[in-house]
Amino acid sequence: MADRMSRPRLVEKLMNKWETFYRKSDYLNSVAIGEGERLRGIQNSCLEFRFPMTILCGPNSTGKTTFLALSVLAFHDDQSLTLSGSNKSYYDFSYFFGFSEREKHEEGIEIKWKYTDGKEDVIKKGKERWLRYIRNNGSPRRPQRGSEFVGLSRIVPAFEKRGYQRLFSNIKRRKQKVCANSLSDYLARVMAKPYSSIFSYETRNISGSYRLNDYNQTHTSFNAGAGEECLTIILDTLLSAKEGSVIAIEEVEIGLHPATMETLVDVMMEIILERNLQVIITTHSPEFLRACPKESLIQAERTGNSITFIHQPNIENAIYSISGKSATDLFVVCEDECAASLIEACLTKKQRNIVKINSYGSKSELIEKAKIVHKATNKKVLIIWDGDVERNLLDKINELQDWDCIQGIKLPGNTSPERFILESLIRNTAMNDQICSEYGLDIADWKALEDKLSVMTDEHDLFFILKEGLGLNQLEEIRKRICWLVSREEKDQFATIKQRINDLLSNNL
């Protein structure tokens, strides 16, 4: 099982690995549809990859599924685990781009793949064939790499799948596959419920391959929840595919509860880092987009026959492009999830329903992010910097043309929010007693936790250390709870922020 680490460190390690390890191999650097005939109405469009995990979002008809398929088709696999209903061992164009007589793909469609080692491959569809997959000497034309596609069929329950009852009525006759040991741990972490064992029964015939999952030896896919099944298929693919595989996941949020999104993103990044995977995901889910690091996000926009791909888009702007509406009266932009949790704890229930808090990372980018949010939504935006922000950034707010719609303020204290929380924990014995009471810690447990916190070198490890010390699985849960306690204990220091938000909502500013 991959090592667990804080989100900032995980993202940093993935980015560093992309620039070093991935760049030296033949992972996918970009895929393009050229100037020739249109493929599904698309031409002159190029999708570039800059991070091991890519989250592709955008409205319908922006080519997300098309480019997802073309990414898988960049490679040749000796035996794709997820391929079913085919007599081949690898994905080909006929798998993704079927047609009827009246919509037959025209010859002259141009596809171009660039790989991270600098190599390129360009194909132009012929009258009958896309390309020769295997050369005359028996070697594959495309680079050899594991390639998997996790499609929407995962949401179809077992009882709706034709022939499943007949195939698996006697499971003793079916081949049993032992899943990776870490699958049950990862599934338990995302689902927040215990799993002691997961394995599957598999069979294959001329029509395809079939699988029935067994959970804790208490129930199978016939009685599993939709989220349980979807997560198992996604995680098992990530864990069972060949190391270094390229894996495409269509509409990752299908069947999943919004509360699972942040943990799922962390789990996927941990597996990607450990197994050197390249994962490409499509989504329409606002919750999933908000849970993803900005380095992974790409927004697709269509103009005529061409698709433009925007890297690291403003999240709310991307969500607005998908839904076309916003129920938010005020946007708050801050630096990270810790700051967002502290701010959220200041709000009343009514305010939480109409105030959208987004964390964007670098403090130097917040003003530009606020401008983008205001332009996209025509709503007021409040920038809340960390307590250690430089004075010149605060002063820049007054120079804005839209200064009446974009306001700025900082969190209490003159340090990072993590350091502010740590100092509050050390200072407030009453809050410590409440934490010990809530989570069942004795004096020795708390003393051991204090000792670890006192030698902490990276402030971003604060909640990871707290989570381990409190014996919890959900990082988000402990972050929100601790921030809630601190904001209540230090309520006088948050009074200015609360008043500014109230004034903006009341149109007093």
In the chain (509 residues long), the average pLDDT of successive 10-residue segments reads 80 96 95 92 96 95 94 89 71 84 76 95 85 82 92 73 66 65 89 86 67 80 80 92 96 91 95 97 93 94 92 80 72 92 89 86 84 85 91 77 80 92 90 90 90 87 90 84 92 92 75
Predicted confidence at residue 205, as pLDDT, reads 64
Predicted confidence at residue 455, as pLDDT, reads 87
In this structure, the number of other CB atoms found within 10 A of the CB of residue 119 comes to: 11
Residue 329 identity: D
In this structure, the number of other CB atoms found within 10 A of the CB of residue 447 comes to: 10
CA–CA dist 78, 418 (Å, integer): 48
Using only C-alpha atoms, the chain has a radius of gyration, in whole angstroms, of 25
Q: In which residue are the tokens 């979807």 written?
A: 230
CA–CA dist 45, 43 (Å, integer): 6
SS (H, E, C) 335-361: CCHHHHHHHHHHCCHHHHHHEEEEECC
pLDDT digits (tens, 9 = 90+) for 278-301: 999 999 999 999 899 999 999 999
CA–CA dist 239, 13 (Å, integer): 19
Mean pLDDT of the chain: 86
In this structure, the number of other CB atoms found within 10 A of the CB of residue 36 comes to: 16
pLDDT digits (tens, 9 = 90+) for 78-115: 877 777 656 677 888 888 887 776 666 678 899 999 99
Predicted confidence at residue 508, as pLDDT, reads 47
And the tokens for 360?
């964007």
DSSP annotation of 160 reads G
Nearest to 312 by CA among 269, 379, 369, 263: 369
Sign of CA dihedral 451, 455, 457, 459: positive
Predicted confidence at residue 324, as pLDDT, reads 65
Predicted confidence at residue 135, as pLDDT, reads 82
Sheet with strand 147-150: strands edge to edge:
147-150, 246-249, 278-283, 53-57, 297-303, 306-311
Predicted confidence at residue 327, as pLDDT, reads 62
Nearest to 111 by CA among 71, 148, 141, 79: 71
- CA–chain centroid gap for 509, Å, is 36
CA–CA dist 445, 31 (Å, integer): 53
Residues 6 or more apart in contact with residue 405 via CB below 8 angstroms: 374, 380, 381
Q: In which residue are the tokens 């204290």 written?
A: 413
Predicted confidence at residue 224, as pLDDT, reads 78
Q: Which domains does the chain show, CATH number per domain? A: 7-311 (3.40.50.300), 326-412+493-505 (3.40.50.11230), 417-489 (no CATH)
Sheet with strand 380-385: strands edge to edge:
355-359, 330-334, 380-385, 406-410
